A and B are shown apart, each in its own frame.
Chain A
């Protein structure tokens, strides 16, 4: 117990007095704050779009107003006189889309001919392209529906029936877990806790480096515990301070979040200890640990769904502690959950912890018995 406490105090002192650890802490806090700031806008707004109105009628101006009224798009005044001008604007990235309303737009519409509106979108950034495409098609769809309703009413239908004739099926969308489909809710918790994971992982891995060796297992366990406690406190601060700053309300209690965080940090520490025990040489183990864990965000399934991974990578992802933690994070951030409702990711973290503990024990036994056996048979 004394060795454990000594190790704890030793590591706690190192964390607050070693310049490089202070730099790591500073970078963690700075980069986490920057990550929350990036998405302060929450959703895409006012992306510049040019409407090339060759008709100039009341109807075409209505269409232009509808496009401008969408949240995602802002119609800007850029003088263009040809398709080449429009193409150049899009290539330079000065506007996200060009909407071309033909000169015969209103005439064709009034005579029951289908006018064609050309929409050219810069698809090089899929986030912008999808938002702009949705906004423009919604605006055109609204004007289009208005025209259809007018036609249906001219056929003698009352307004309600005219609407049903034009749009017979409606879709009532209910977005669960991220009702406003905002990007901050989607990416900020994952990205900030990934940075915390990087911080904890680098510190845990540093305990096994030869530059500051521990005299015994208890001392090392004490050092790991100090890192775990520091990372836990930082994680709680993230939940309590950073998430509200990013306009994210954690729906579950801080108690639930804390238990998941503890389970994750335990599994993380054990996984790194297991790699250090199993792999040959502390430097090689350190390098492998970093290479594997830096991929944890991509492997977590937060941005790219895990069922889209090739099978071997799915298996690998399942053994990274950040994957079940990210699963749980997505669940308890969006819903008020109790611990028993998080049994899936918690069980996975528990299984990982058991397997890693087993590997540590096996590695420990092997390191003691193999040299003895070699000596005996030599």
Chain B
């Protein structure tokens, strides 16, 4: 046991020395957690998609149509950037992405409303981006509903009802909608916290394989070690110092600096720690299998985006096919991202994410066991190679 601990400490100090001497490893350890969170935060700093470019074709030109246009333009989501006469030109502007919405008010619009018939407003929206589509269409619906309410009130008033009764008749059912936990519904804040976690994942997945790969490039004949898992655990412990710094930087510096709201920094840091722990054995497995410093980058960069998409952070997990749900469940990012959403906006109580933390615990145990097996298999192969015996094929990428 003492020899095992000595090996672990040896791996730890050796790796720290290597990090201090090698700028490339240091660049990975500092570059990923600094560059990604800052750039991503800066990218989403405006938080919500507002003032979507809209063109208006107003063939009516009445007071009512102008009022509608002004009300639409006054919303946060819509900016009427062009008032044109030609509907065809409007289509072309939407097609060429110069505008995202085209509103057409026909010439008989106000006449129809005045004479007790329904006036129709035609809207063409670019649905290719659901985020901007939702903003523009939502604002249009709300604005028209408000105008309908006003016109309906006038109608009932003219029928002899009092103002109060008219109000009640035009809105017979009042709806109080409370958007709990995240009332702004802004896209930027919703997304960035998840992206931070994925950047943290990539840091853990790449830094150790990079360093170990670099060592393999220089050591042509690998030195046989008695406790391969302990050596690698020592090395990953050295990297963990930087992972801790990275999580502190992300949660305590970047998050408040850009105004991203979290319920409690302490709870989120606990989540980062649990997620980091679950990722460490995966990093060790990857490090055991790489042959050079580039392989980690080349192979592991593929996982970041799909893992984020499959986690259920944006598209709900229960809406995915069963096979995809099973696939998602093997990645520590899945419970971590689900827990992140709860801790960021719902509650700071860790008990609310106890299921996800237990899930991460299962990952840690299972992947540690796998890491023990893989590191010993690789060490066994290296020993045979050192002895010059025939090789046993172990997949190395």
What are the interface flags for B130-145 relative to A under an 8 Å C-beta threshold, 1 for contact and 0 otherwise?
1111100110110010
Q: Are A166 and B130 in contact (CB under 8 A)?
A: no
CA distance A80 to B378 in the complex (A): 56
CA distance A172 to B120 in the complex (A): 7
Residues on the B chain within 8 Å of A290, using CB: 297, 301
Contact of A168 among B35, B118, B125, B352 (CB under 8 A): B118
Q: A175-B127, A291-B35 are in contact. Are A126 and B187 (CB under 8 A)?
A: yes
CA distance A39 to B44 in the complex (A): 24
- Verify if A244 is at the interface (C-beta below 8 Å from B): no
- Can you list 5 A-B pairs with a CB-CB distance of less than 8 A? A92-B352, A122-B180, A161-B117, A295-B40, A298-B40
Question: Nearest A residue to B105 by beta-carbon distance?
Answer: A169
In chain B between 287 and 316, which residues have their CB closer than 8 angstroms to a CB of chain A? 291-295, 297-299, 301-306, 309-310, 313-316
- Verify if B151 is at the interface (C-beta below 8 Å from A): yes
Shortest distance between the CB of A89 and any CB in chain B (Å) = 11
Question: Nearest A residue to B396 by beta-carbon distance?
Answer: A19
- Verify if B319 is at the interface (C-beta below 8 Å from A): yes
Q: Are A109 and B178 in contact (CB under 8 A)?
A: no
- Verify if A252 is at the interface (C-beta below 8 Å from B): no
- Verify if A240 is at the interface (C-beta below 8 Å from B): no
Question: Nearest A residue to B39 by beta-carbon distance?
Answer: A295
Q: Are A117 and B173 in contact (CB under 8 A)?
A: yes
Q: A164-B116, A177-B127, A308-B46 are in contact. Are A114 and B134 (CB under 8 A)?
A: no
- Verify if A41 is at the interface (C-beta below 8 Å from B): yes
Q: Are B39 and A20 in contact (CB under 8 A)?
A: no
Q: Are B172 and A165 in contact (CB under 8 A)?
A: no
Q: Are B147 and A169 in contact (CB under 8 A)?
A: yes
CA distance A153 to B174 in the complex (A): 21
CA distance A1 to B259 in the complex (A): 57
Q: A181-B127, A310-B43 are in contact. Are A125 and B172 (CB under 8 A)?
A: no
What are the interface flags for A275-317 relative to B under an 8 Å C-beta threshold, 1 for contact and 0 otherwise?
0000000011011001100110111001111011110010000
Contact of B130 among A23, A183, A194, A195 (CB under 8 A): A183
Top 8 nearest A-B pairs (CB, nearest first) are A178-B127, A123-B182, A175-B127, A123-B179, A31-B306, A27-B302, A20-B397, A147-B172
What are the interface flags for A152-195 relative to B under an 8 Å C-beta threshold, 1 for contact and 0 otherwise?
00010000110111111111111111110101011100010011
Q: Are A27 and B303 in contact (CB under 8 A)?
A: yes
Q: A38-B315, A129-B182, A305-B49 are in contact. Are A176 and B124 (CB under 8 A)?
A: yes
- Verify if B220 is at the interface (C-beta below 8 Å from A): no
- Verify if B2 is at the interface (C-beta below 8 Å from A): no
- How many of B's residues come within 8 Å of A, CB to CB? 117
In chain A between 33 and 79, which residues have their CB closer than 8 angstroms to a CB of chain B? 34-35, 37-41, 44-45, 47
CA distance A183 to B316 in the complex (A): 12
Given contact pairs A117-B173, A148-B170, A297-B305, a sample of 6 additional A-B residue pairs in the complex whose CB atoms are under 8 Å apart:
A116-B176, A119-B178, A130-B185, A147-B173, A172-B121, A176-B94
Stretch at the interface among A216-224, A253-261, A327-335, A350-358: A327-335
- How many of A's residues come within 8 Å of B, CB to CB? 110
Q: A20-B295, A165-B155, A191-B305 are in contact. Are A44 and B116 (CB under 8 A)?
A: no
Shortest distance between the CB of A326 and any CB in chain B (Å) = 11
Q: A133-B177, A170-B121, A175-B127 are in contact. Are A41 and B397 (CB under 8 A)?
A: no
What are the interface flags for B236-256 relative to A under an 8 Å C-beta threshold, 1 for contact and 0 otherwise?
000000000000000000000
Residues on the B chain within 8 Å of A298, using CB: 40, 43, 195
CA distance A327 to B128 in the complex (A): 11
Q: Are B169 and A116 in contact (CB under 8 A)?
A: no
CA distance A66 to B295 in the complex (A): 55
Q: A44-B319, A125-B314, A211-B292 are in contact. Are A304 and B346 (CB under 8 A)?
A: no
Residues on the A chain within 8 Å of B361, using CB: none
Shortest distance between the CB of B349 and any CB in chain A (Å) = 9
Q: Are A303 and B316 in contact (CB under 8 A)?
A: no
Residues on the B chain within 8 Å of A335, using CB: 95
Residues of A whose CB lies within 8 Å of any CB of B are: 19-20, 23-24, 27-28, 31, 34-35, 37-41, 44-45, 47, 90-93, 109, 112-130, 133, 136-137, 140, 143-144, 147-148, 151, 155, 160-161, 163-179, 181, 183, 185-187, 191, 194-195, 198-199, 202, 206, 209, 211, 283-284, 286-287, 290-291, 294-295, 297-299, 302-305, 307-310, 313, 327, 330-331, 334-335, 344
Q: Are A115 and B174 in contact (CB under 8 A)?
A: yes
CA distance A109 to B173 in the complex (A): 7
Q: A112-B165, A126-B185, A303-B129 are in contact. Are A24 and B27 (CB under 8 A)?
A: no
Question: Nearest B residue to A344 by beta-carbon distance?
Answer: B96
Q: Are A305 and B132 in contact (CB under 8 A)?
A: yes
Residues on the A chain within 8 Å of B168, using CB: 112-114
Residues on the A chain within 8 Å of B233, using CB: none
Q: Are A179 and B315 in contact (CB under 8 A)?
A: no
CA distance A122 to B345 in the complex (A): 10
Shortest distance between the CB of A170 and any CB in chain B (Å) = 5
- Verify if B218 is at the interface (C-beta below 8 Å from A): no
Q: Are A302 and B127 in contact (CB under 8 A)?
A: no
What are the interface flags for B326-337 relative to A under an 8 Å C-beta threshold, 1 for contact and 0 otherwise?
010000000000
Shortest distance between the CB of A149 and any CB in chain B (Å) = 10
Question: Nearest B residue to A40 by beta-carbon distance?
Answer: B321
CA distance A173 to B24 in the complex (A): 55
- Verify if B31 is at the interface (C-beta below 8 Å from A): yes
Residues on the A chain within 8 Å of B195, using CB: 298
Question: Nearest A residue to B118 by beta-carbon distance?
Answer: A164
CA distance A34 to B133 in the complex (A): 26
Q: Are A24 and B299 in contact (CB under 8 A)?
A: yes
Q: A19-B397, A175-B125 are in contact. Are A327 and B174 (CB under 8 A)?
A: no
Residues on the A chain within 8 Å of B177, using CB: 119, 121, 133, 136-137
Residues on the A chain within 8 Å of B125, using CB: 173-176
Q: Are B28 and A287 in contact (CB under 8 A)?
A: yes
Question: Nearest B residue to A160 by beta-carbon distance?
Answer: B117
Residues on the B chain within 8 Å of A167, using CB: 118, 148, 152
Q: Are B304 and A294 in contact (CB under 8 A)?
A: yes
Q: Are B144 and A124 in contact (CB under 8 A)?
A: no
CA distance A130 to B133 in the complex (A): 12
- Verify if B84 is at the interface (C-beta below 8 Å from A): no
Residues on the B chain within 8 Å of A119, using CB: 175-178
Residues on the A chain within 8 Å of B156, using CB: 165
Residues on the A chain within 8 Å of B138, using CB: 130
Q: A169-B148, A310-B45 are in contact. Are A304 and B127 (CB under 8 A)?
A: no
